Amino acid sequence: MGIFKFLTSKTFLINLAIAATIVGVGMFTLLRWIDSYTLHGESIEVPDLKGMKTEQLDTFLAAHSLRYQIIDSLYDTSKKPGTVLDQDPAFESRVKKDRTIYITVNSILPPKVKMPDLIDVSHRQAEAILTTYGFKVGSITFEPDLAKNAVIAQRYKGQSIRPGTEIPKGSVIDLVLGDGMGNLDIDVPDLTGLTKTEASFVLRGAGLNIGKVVYDEENRNQEKAKIYKQEPEAGPNSSIRNGDPVDIYLR
C-alpha cells in the first residue's frame, strides 16, 4: 500500500512530469541535430580545386556550400605560384554541406636555401650537390689552375657567393673550374640527334658549354626537337678549349 500510495502521490506525479519533459526535449533536440547533420542522406560532391588560385576559392566554394582552410604551403617550380597543390577530401568525394576542405598551396615566393661550399669539389660532384640543394647549374668556365676540373669559384648573378649565403631555391649557380694549367684542347662531341637537354649533359661532361640555340621556324615542340647541325662540327680534326661554346640547331 505504501508504494502504491507513493506512486499516486502528487509529488511523484510532478517529478514524473518533469522527467518526461526533460527526456522529451532532449530527444527532440537530438533528432533535430541528427536531421540537420545528415540532411536526410543528401551530400555534396567535392569539386577539383587543384591549380585554382587561392583568391578564387572563397567565391567558388561558397557557391558549392563548402568552406576551406589552408593547412600547408610548398614550393613547386612546375606549378603556378599561389595555386592549390593538394586538397582533402579529394576531388569527387561526397561530403555534407558546410564541410571544410583542407588545402595545400604553392608558395608565391621560393624558400631561401644556404649556398653550399663547392670549392675544390669535382665538376660532377658539384653539379650533384647543387641539384640536391634545389639549385640549377649555370655556365661552366675554365681558368688556369692546377686543380683540373675542380671548382675554384662559385658565382651567383655574376658575383662570387660565399658558402652559407641564403638565396632563393631554384637559383642558377655558375661554376669556374681549373683547367690543369695546360689549356688542352677537347675533341668536339657529336650532338646530332640529341635534344637540347641531352646535348647539355654531353657537353658538360666534356667540359664544354652550349652556345647559340637555334630552332627551326616550323618546329612547334621545342622539348622534343632534335639537333641536326652544330658549330663547330664534330670530327677527329675538330677540337676546342675547355669551357668553349658549341652552337646547336634543332628541328
- Give yes or no for residue 40 having a pLDDT over 80: no
Q: Return the number of other C-beta atoms located less than 10 Å from residue 173's C-beta.
A: 23
Helices marked H in the chain: 2-7, 10-38, 57-63, 123-133, 196-205
CA distance 58 to 43: 20
Non-local CB neighbours of 135 within 8 Å, separated by 6+ positions:
113, 169, 170, 171, 172, 173
How many CB atoms lie under 10 A from the CB of residue 20? 10
Q: Is 96 exposed, middle or buried (0-12, 13-18, 19+ CB in 10 A)?
A: middle
Q: How confident is the model at residue 98 (pLDDT cuts 50, 70, 90)?
A: very high
Residue-averaged pLDDT of the chain: 87
Distance CA 186, CA 205 (A): 11
- Residue 9 or residue 76, greater confidence: 76
Q: Which domains occur in the chain, in start order?
A: 44-106 (3.30.10.20), 112-250 (3.30.10.20)
Using CA atoms, how far apart are residues 133 and 156, in angstroms rounded to an integer?
14
pLDDT category of residue 177 using cuts at 50, 70 and 90:
very high
Distance separating alpha carbons of residues 176 and 65, to the nearest angstrom: 58
Q: pLDDT confidence of 29, banded at 50, 70, 90?
A: confident
More confident residue, 52 or 208: 52
Cα dist from 52 to 81, 83, 200, whole Å: 10, 5, 34
Which backbone phi and psi does 173 adopt, to 5 degrees?
Answer: -115, 125
Interval 207-211 mean pLDDT? 87
Q: pLDDT-derived band of residue 36, with 50, 70 and 90 as boundaries? A: low
Report the pLDDT averaged over residues 8-20: 74
As given in the structure block, the three cell numbers for residue 161 are 657567393
